[in-house]
Amino acid sequence: MSRNRLTTTAGAPVADNQNSQTAGPQGPVLLQDYQLLEKLAHQNRERIPERVVHANGWGARGTFTVTGDISRYTRADLFQGLGRQTEVIARFSNVAGEQGAADAERDVRGFAVKFYTDEGNWDLVGNNTPVFFVRDPYKFPDFIRSQKRHPRTNRRSNTAQWDFWSLSPESLHQVTILMSDRGLPQTPMNMNGYGSHTFSLWNDQGERFWVKFHFKTRQGHAFFTDEEAKAVIGEDRESYQKALFGAIDAGQFPKWTLYIQVMSQAEAERADFDPFDLTKVWPHGDYPLIEVGELELNRNVDNYFTEIEQLAFSPSNIVPGIGHSPDKMLQARVFAYADAHRYRLGTHYEALPVNAPKAPVAHYHKDGAMNFFGHKTGNPDAFYEPNSFGGPVEDPSVKEPPLPLAGDGDRHDHRLGNDDVSQPRALFELFDTAERERLCANIANAMDGVPDEIVARQLALFDRVHADYGDGVRQALAARGRSARKAAE
Ligand code: NDP
């Protein structure tokens, strides 16, 4: 086999890749050994800042195929025509653990899909849960801090976690999902994905509809108990990577069905809950699932770093026919995600091959670190806009219909009058006896070492959801040798 000649990064051939250049066989090494210097310097620069959240992830490439006609709701090009296919790349992740954290930890999972559409990239960046812990982005950094390492002990803290949750009743719904069976899926294939936020679709007539996106697993839900997960982690800390990569390598391509729920503006005004509140679902009975398509992951990446670590999703990536909504959390993410990537990957992160659209790109951004793509206007004389030199121009035909907004610019108390318990109650009532027991046991496990007053405050919240919920956790705590009486007793 003829092999390529090894070169330096500057392309000069390398004569010896085994031995440093030294003054005699014992050394010392010579500073002029630019090959050695280059090797060492590159190794020092192999790491980039990891994501503050969702650092530990697994992903693959695949295809999205339209199976249901939603053209009455959206003009989005990728949804036009049954059988229409769009190339995608997906990334799943744990939230709290850093890179190298064990995969099979109880945590929410990120579920993000980049659709390389003919009108630009659409990123649906959600989770495996339909809701979230907080509804106001002002709380997000505090929430994440409570999940991360304690500044003094440098260990994750059950106390911080339950302190924050017990002081934030809006977290009840997501806490219940996290502590239930679906809080610890066996593999990324065995979970649903949700856009979580309310988004919008708009059609050629300029009508806007509010929507939720749901990916339902075709592999079935499968979970680990806390005990099982300990054994899995003891055997293999990379169990998700092994399962996803292995399945695709073996030709067993995981699939999900994409559905939407749709709500008109009139329905949104009538709803007895806030449809833009990220701690709430839209009940299926009132807003039925409408089938849209099939997501299939069918190709492993060749290079984890360039294709998964540098893969950058942002809810700011929408395409004509898809829009945002008044959801406060969504709006903050529209800023924060792209900002995070500019910080960790650089200004031109969307020009990296994995992030670059398959659709033509034409913009006037110029210069900046690592600009390797030159002009994106088609003509060096067209470097500002408007210009007379044939540079790209706006296209009013893709103008979004206006958002129906009205308001007073105040800091409204997001907790005032909000019902934080009915939806977690509906979920608790879906669980059979064994699921309830596992839920309560998982909570009791996670309360290990948490001070009594914090446990009591959280139990009072569970009591408000369902009497059996609070009592179930008390029993699970008692089984672990902790007594936690009802406040009224
Ligand atoms: P439905 O009975 O119509 O829907 C229940 C939903 O819950 C289904 O999406 C189902 O997902 C999911 N589900 C079923 N069993 C479990 C479980 N053991 N753990 C977690 N999720 C489960 O009822 P509603 O739409 O009125 O919702 C009732 C409650 O269900 C909500 O308060 C919410 O907590 C939860 N839920 C609702 C969703 C929604 O978008 N409406 C989505 C997910 C959960 P699947 O079909 O994949 O099994």
**CB of 285 sitting under 6 A from ligand 1:** yes
Q: How far is CA 396 from the centre of its chain?
A: 32
Rounded-to-integer distance, Cα 259 and Cα 291, Å? 4
Q: Average pLDDT in the 107-124 region?
A: 98
Domain 57-131+185-351 belongs to what architecture? Beta Barrel (2.40)
94, 127, 128, 317: the catalytic one is 127
Say if residue 485's pLDDT is above 80: no
Q: How far is CA 247 from the centre of its chain?
A: 22
pLDDT for 482 equals: 86
Q: At 357, phi and psi to the nearest 5?
A: -65, 155
Under 8 Å CB-to-CB from 48, ≥6 apart: which residues?
309, 310, 344, 345
**CB of 281 sitting under 6 A from ligand 1:** yes
Show the tokens assigned to 48: 């980039």
Q: What is the DSSP string of 299-348?
A: E--S-HIIIIIS----TT---TTEE--S-HHHHHHHHHHHHHHHHHT-TT
Show the tokens assigned to 402: 């206006």
**What does the mean pLDDT of the chain come to?**
96
DSSP state for residue 204 in the 8-state scheme: T
**CB of 121 sitting under 6 A from ligand 1:** no
pLDDT for 487 equals: 59
Query: What pTM, to 2 d.p., does this model score?
Result: 0.96
Show the tokens assigned to 78: 């990728």
**CB of 354 sitting under 6 A from ligand 1:** no
Rounded-to-integer distance, Cα 405 and Cα 133, Å? 25
Report the b/e string of 67-80 with b at 16+ CB within 10 A.
eeebeebbbbbbbe
Region of 100 please: left (phi>0), alpha (psi -120 to 50) or beta.
Answer: left
Q: At 91, phi and psi to the nearest 5?
A: -135, 130
- State the pairing for strand pair 208-217/199-202: antiparallel
Q: Average pLDDT in the 343-365 region?
A: 96
Q: Average pLDDT in the 130-158 region?
A: 97
pLDDT for 403 equals: 85
Q: Average pLDDT in the 189-212 region?
A: 97
pLDDT for 404 equals: 80
Lowest-confidence segment of 242-246, 365-369, 448-452 by average pLDDT: 365-369
pLDDT for 376 equals: 87
List, for residues 394-427, the tens digit of each pLDDT value: 999 999 999 888 889 999 999 888 999 999 999 9
Q: What percent of the chain has pLDDT over 70?
A: 99
Show the tokens assigned to 306: 């360039």
Q: How far is CA 230 from the centre of its chain?
A: 25
Q: Where in the chain is the domain with CATH 2.40.180.10?
A: 57-131+185-351
**CB of 293 sitting under 6 A from ligand 1:** no
Say if residue 174's pLDDT is above 60: yes
pLDDT for 155 equals: 97
pLDDT for 489 equals: 45
Q: What is the DSSP string of 425-468?
A: HHHHHHS-HHHHHHHHHHHHHHTTT--HHHHHHHHHHHHHH-HH
**3-state SS class at 298:** strand
* Residue 303 annotated to the active site: no
Which residue among 196, 199, 427 is best mutated to probe the pocket of ligand 1, counting the most ligand atoms within 8 A of its Cβ?
427
Peptide bond into 28 cis (omega under 30): yes
pLDDT for 1 equals: 78
**3-state SS class at 28:** coil
Peptide bond into 169 cis (omega under 30): no
Distances (CA, A) of 71 to 14, 86, 372, 404: 58, 16, 38, 22
Q: Which residues pair with 122 in a beta bridge?
A: 115
* Residue 94 annotated to the active site: no
Atom index in ligand 1 nearest the CA of residue 214 equals 40
